[in-house]
Structure 1
């Protein structure tokens, strides 16, 4: 049974992350903020109006880089401390203080890009040849040149940067502070409910009465906040549309895909192909769940249940370390050392507590080590989640060491490849180590339910819904709760057909996902998993050669486009083949689940 959530001061300190590695004391953080403010002001006085020749460009970018290397850890400290307890007023004020400073500093520094794009191309080319560490930054700037606005407009927009981030903060505040879930009742017994307990426990509860009752109670409470949440989201969308129009992009899609360094055809292909070709496989999986659980009907509330919940082992934080070490050992000694340090040096925040952000994420502040947030439920599938976040950690552990702060981060299109790669390595390791049909079925169902369902279905359906929203916004229209509910329901019904009943409340799923405030992010999960599926097959077949090539990809950071990074790993994403092959692979996993289930039932 799910227990009442403890407050942050009641959790075990050794299971929390250690932010002291960023700043030892609050005073140190305050000193850093003051230093950022002073150095930014000095930078403005020294360089504004004075960048004339290539050597000026190199000198200015060198100093600019040093400022950003101070801003990043301060921003991480503010956001990470808030993410573990959004009820903490000190953390709220700290985050607000950093946001205000960040807006002020951005305004002071905005002149740099404005003046650089006004320089003759030959001076920029000379600067690139003289200062190769700044090549990528300058090349990206030249690509953005036609979308750059008047310097005073850029300065004003930068000054409002904290306000532009307000809808996301408002969404988070509503979600984590204002929404308080009531207990729900089944057969006279009351059970506690929260965002974290629903997504980590009740969604996967094996008892259908409790699972469906939790879903109904959860949806009922969400519905009370649908209009505020929709208005918040619409504010965000209208700001994106206005920015797109002001800068002269042909569409909001061109604006949002620009920094991903991919064209719209790759975006549309990912959504269209999966929606069409994966749906039949996933409907078979839904029918298998329904049959094995003896359900009268398959509803949306039943889709996250484990195929064999009685077999799924419970696992402690300490036990997870051995599984992950064994599975990721193929990546080599340095990589495993990073994983062990993550546990030993408290880079990971494990507890479930009131006010903690939902889901899981990895933050990798430049100049420090990565930090991972997860709400440990003791379910074995959390090993896949943790491996996923350690994939992000490993990626930036390498990239931040090898590249400068502006070269380390790759396109959003590629960002989920290293994370989903680790999920595949965990799955491959578990499959290699047992011939027991029940264990094999559990592993394969975990791959389907956790790795592929989450990344190829949940996020893909978010992307399909998001595309409907942006099609509307691009026409100059607004959205409200009813429109968003209708869009979400239509996407779910189209994918699941008559196999799954899209029960009342399923249409509110759009309210649960912060990714909508991060541009065209949801589709990149399936894009990354397409790449990692192909590379994990190479690692299984070719061993060290494929591992070495993948390590070089991680080290490259953002110095190459997603197409080039995939090519380095032996995958050609300019064609449909990797995606079609991945969908076929998912189909083969479901084939195997069906045959293993038949074998198990015959021997029962």
Structure 2
């Protein structure tokens, strides 16, 4: 009998997030959507002459904009969260489409205003601040706009670019619908001899099976489905890469990567430093693969063998309740208030817990300025899911603190720091679990999980970042991103990163097609940089105590009040240098040695 997923209508309310905290009904949502359409039209009354007349005029604009952005944020959150838990539901997809249309109209109307603000003389802006003290509330937002002055176009061109964004995001939306709603996942035989559908949420857990036949069949069947649509996936990815370059060129950047990192006020050298630092320390990854091959007793270590724990699982089935309890205990080091907010999220349905048919794959946290964060999970009762929950709640509390201590504009922290709080939670959870076990087998299992975090976050995400960089360079040079070209590049990178002790199976060449983050415009490198930063910060928290905790909480409260690099420096880590990455990789090397020593004792 095939193990089928529950339909969304069958999910228990206690296991779903409280979407009603945003709107009690669709009708109330539609009222706000209609009001937003009206307010967007009203914004057209803010002409260049009107806005630049005085500080009071500019203040009037930002006060109205603040109300709109707060309402828009809430309505977008409602429509997107509703659509993500039931991607096959046309009603929710229509709500999402409606809100995206309103958002793009809003962006089109505000784009020329941004350009006018950027074009104003600095002396005039400073005079406005002196004359209108209340305007200083929006100083960070105005300064961030003006920082990009050389990359801001005329108001007419800004409006044209903004109006094209909906069209420019078509590849991403199509990819999401294809993989989450229309994709026919294959069935494979599990350890019990039952036919199981390999969904995105089940794929990695099935690769953790102790049965090599289950791993191999899962790996081949799942990637075989992507192979069937390789040309479609290649066309979608090429479309996204070309769109990225179009917007980069329009804004006078030399490359898509440079445009993406500069939007977050991050120097492009940070991207290159990451790849270089990982290349300089590739031997640790190769050592880990050699140890994995040895401890698993395999003549050949295949790509479908790299997820299965080196030692037999010692943690057992981890219920959702147990995961919550352990996470709360582990994060006590961050203080009473942090744990209070964490438990508030656990107890008040911030989280959509389990997989259902048509639900978006993976996990994420989405902040909402006027409500509370929303966390999507597809919990699988294992250690990976426990760490994912800790990870996403790190995002959620970052959003919570940022919203509490900033206006709506400054609460939206830059993407570069977005993964720091999440991976710091994971590091603290790992420290908690390791310190509370004397059992050598369990300790070895946990260390292997930690090693896997290094493999999947520092190395694998850097490999993703390199793939994204190289493919965009190809597109920028006018080369076609065909399925075969993408597969060859991705395969060769896997050979380089995994080293001589791994048999790199041909199926892995299509893996790029199943990675949704490649549609997020140079997002993935930040997983690796954030992991390195969080390793440094968690070490300071555990060693220094209260002073480091205070700096860290101030970082969470910072929003985008400073550049992400400055916020991290204030917290105690400098990500413009290679040193945090090197230090994290040294820790990886030490853990490999500890794992090898433990393996001789169990």
TM-score normalised over the length of structure 2: 0.96
2:206 equivalent to 1:206: no
Instruction: Name the structure 2 match of 1:526.
Output: 528
Instruction: Name the structure 2 match of 1:477.
Output: 479
CA distance in 1 between partners of 2:263 and 2:11 (Å): 40
Is the Cα contact below 8 Å between 2:532 and 2:581 reproduced in 1?
Answer: yes
Q: Cα gap change, 1:422/1:187 in structure 2, threshold over 3 Å: closer, same or farther? A: closer
SS of equivalent to 1:572: coil
Structure 2, gaps ≥5 residues long: none
Is the Cα contact below 8 Å between 1:424 and 1:533 reproduced in 2?
Answer: yes
1:325-344 → structure 2 map (5 Å cutoff)? 325-344=328-347
Is the Cα contact below 8 Å between 1:226 and 1:511 reproduced in 2?
Answer: yes
Q: Cα gap change, 1:390/1:187 in structure 2, threshold over 3 Å: closer, same or farther? A: closer
How far 1:362 sits from its partner (Å)?
A: 0.4
2:311 equivalent to 1:311: no
Instruction: Name the structure 2 match of 1:16.
Output: 16
CA deviation digits over 1:341-361, x for unaligned, max 9?
112111101111121111111
Q: Cα gap change, 1:81/1:200 in structure 2, threshold over 3 Å: closer, same or farther? A: farther
Structure 1, gaps ≥5 residues long: none
CA distance in 2 between partners of 1:440 and 1:540 (Å): 19
Instruction: Name the structure 1 match of 2:586.
Output: 584
CA deviation digits over 1:9-56, x for unaligned, max 9?
222221111111111100010001011111121222245541122222
Is the Cα contact below 8 Å between 1:198 and 1:218 reproduced in 2?
Answer: no
Q: Cα gap change, 1:128/1:309 in structure 2, threshold over 3 Å: closer, same or farther? A: farther
How far 1:8 sits from its partner (Å)?
A: 1.4
CA distance in 1 between partners of 2:168 and 2:91 (Å): 23
CA deviation digits over 1:203-231, x for unaligned, max 9?
21121110111100001111011111111
- 1:235 aligned to 232, 239, 245, which one? 239
Instruction: Name the structure 1 match of 2:441.
Output: 438
- 2:563 aligned to 545, 561, 564, which one? 561
Instruction: Name the structure 1 match of 2:107.
Output: 106
CA distance in 2 between partners of 1:89 and 1:168 (Å): 18
SS of equivalent to 2:375: strand
2:78 equivalent to 1:77: yes
2:148 equivalent to 1:148: no
SS of equivalent to 2:177: helix
SS of equivalent to 2:62: helix
1:376-391 → structure 2 map (5 Å cutoff)? 376-391=379-394
Instruction: Name the structure 2 match of 1:96.
Output: 97
- 2:183 aligned to 160, 179, 186, which one? 179
Instruction: Name the structure 2 match of 1:495.
Output: 497
Is the Cα contact below 8 Å between 2:262 and 2:268 reproduced in 1?
Answer: no
Q: Cα gap change, 1:231/1:543 in structure 2, threshold over 3 Å: closer, same or farther? A: same
Is the Cα contact below 8 Å between 2:151 and 2:252 reproduced in 1?
Answer: yes
Is the Cα contact below 8 Å between 2:289 and 2:499 reproduced in 1?
Answer: no
SS of equivalent to 1:248: coil
SS of equivalent to 1:599: coil
Q: Cα gap change, 1:553/1:186 in structure 2, threshold over 3 Å: closer, same or farther? A: closer
Is the Cα contact below 8 Å between 1:193 and 1:214 reproduced in 2?
Answer: no
Q: Cα gap change, 1:46/1:259 in structure 2, threshold over 3 Å: closer, same or farther? A: closer
Is the Cα contact below 8 Å between 1:22 and 1:73 reproduced in 2?
Answer: yes
CA distance in 2 between partners of 1:8 and 1:223 (Å): 29
CA distance in 1 between partners of 2:248 and 2:437 (Å): 53
Is the Cα contact below 8 Å between 1:47 and 1:60 reproduced in 2?
Answer: no
CA deviation digits over 1:320-347, x for unaligned, max 9?
1110110011111221111111121111
How far 1:308 sits from its partner (Å)?
A: 2.2
1:234-313 → structure 2 map (5 Å cutoff)? 234-277=238-281, 279-313=282-316
Q: Cα gap change, 1:2/1:371 in structure 2, threshold over 3 Å: closer, same or farther? A: farther
Instruction: Name the structure 2 match of 1:31.
Output: 31
CA deviation digits over 1:265-306, x for unaligned, max 9?
1111111211330x3222222233333333231011111111
Instruction: Name the structure 2 match of 1:322.
Output: 325
2:196 equivalent to 1:192: yes
SS of equivalent to 2:365: strand
Runs of 4+ in 1 over 6 A off after TM superposition: none
8-17 or 424-433: which moved more? 8-17
SS of equivalent to 1:564: helix
Instruction: Name the structure 2 match of 1:86.
Output: 87
CA RMSD after TM alignment = 1.8
1:391-410 → structure 2 map (5 Å cutoff)? 391-410=394-413
Is the Cα contact below 8 Å between 1:128 and 1:134 reproduced in 2?
Answer: no
SS of equivalent to 1:192: strand
How far 1:188 sits from its partner (Å)?
A: 11
SS of equivalent to 2:562: coil
CA distance in 2 between partners of 1:379 and 1:280 (Å): 30
SS of equivalent to 2:415: coil
Instruction: Name the structure 2 match of 1:64.
Output: 65
- 1:163 aligned to 162, 167, 181, which one? 167
How far 1:413 sits from its partner (Å)?
A: 1.9
Is the Cα contact below 8 Å between 1:167 and 1:236 reproduced in 2?
Answer: yes
How far 1:396 sits from its partner (Å)?
A: 1.1
Is the Cα contact below 8 Å between 2:313 and 2:445 reproduced in 1?
Answer: no
How far 1:102 sits from its partner (Å)?
A: 1.6
